[in-house]
Amino acid sequence: MQDDLVRNIVAVLPVKLSEAETMRLAQRYTRNLEAYEYFLRGQAALLVRRRAQNELARELYWKAIHADPAFSRAYAGLAMTYALEYQQGWAEVSVLTRALEFAETAVQMSPEMPEAHWAVGFVHTQRRQHDEALRHLDSALRLNPSYADAYALKAGIYTYIGRPAEGVPLARLAQRLNPDAGSLYFLVLGRAYYYLGDAEHARVNLEHALQRNSENLEARIFLAATHWLAGERDAAEWQANEIRTLEPGFNIHTWLASYPMTDAGQKEKLVKSMKEIGL
């Protein structure tokens, strides 16, 4: 059954690469093609943002490391699985200590690898240590000024700390640099526009996020809130039902307990909308 899941996940990767092209890309991080293939499967599973796939991603990253113990980017991937485990409410906050250990191991092994600094930044974001996260993201961008994921995460952080207007141009830049990115860039933009009170742009971006990953719970939460903001009650309640299907017993306070937003006014705005919708 798990092999079938792996095949299904790999099938959604945007491009089928030849072995030669895969090896060319792999050599930036590892000389072991088997390790790199495990890593790619782990990356695909991680993007789904569901518990079973997160566990599968962790297993695949460990297989990559067993195939190549010096594969630092696989350690960065492991860090992500632990950070997401907390962010999604599947584990206690103590798991972030393990996430930081793996991310820092990746930096120690490959200090010139921007993806390692990004992973440390992501973990600090989940720890709500946003200044430290931004410092590591700036390090990643010094190493690679065209690193789209770093701009996208910086954009997200600016929204978390109550400065969404500063995040919009960064998220737009990320999309220009990586137009084939999946749902998360659209989520970052949609969330920023929601807090800016721009329901039209929020709706468009959040719908694009859900077209790319229909199980993205966060995108549905903000889309429900956006519909409510715009006075679209039926659409908001429809999204609320989808949220209950994805997360039976969903409670906005429980969800926010592990969410990296630190701006109290923004959290209150979301809570108010969710409570009015019935969540």
pLDDT computed for residue 29 by the predictor: 75
In terms of domains, do 136 and 172 share one? no
In terms of domains, do 109 and 182 share one? no
pLDDT computed for residue 33 by the predictor: 87
Q: Could you report the per-residue pLDDT of 142-163, keeping only the tens digit for each?
A: 999 999 999 999 999 999 999 9
Q: Which of 145, 160, 180 is the last residue of a domain?
A: 145
CATH of the domain at 20: 1.25.40.10
Does some domain include residue 106? yes
In terms of domains, do 141 and 191 share one? no
**Residues in Cβ contact with 177 at an 8 Å cutoff, skipping those fewer than 6 apart:** 146, 147, 148, 151
pLDDT computed for residue 12 by the predictor: 39
How many folded domains does the chain comprise?
Answer: 2
In terms of domains, do 90 and 23 share one? yes
In terms of domains, do 28 and 119 share one? yes
Does some domain include residue 44? yes
Show the domain range for 189. 168-279
Query: Residue range 127-136: average pLDDT?
Result: 98
Query: Residue range 155-182: average pLDDT?
Result: 96
Going by pLDDT thresholds of 50, 70 and 90, the confidence category of residue 27 is: low
Q: Is pLDDT of 26 > 90?
A: no
Does some domain include residue 156? no
3-state SS of 2-30 is HHHHHHHHHHCCCCCCCHHHHHHHHCCCC
Sign of CA dihedral 131, 132, 134, 138: positive
Task: Tell me the whole-structure pTM to 2 decimals.
Answer: 0.88
In terms of domains, do 185 and 96 share one? no
Does some domain include residue 251? yes
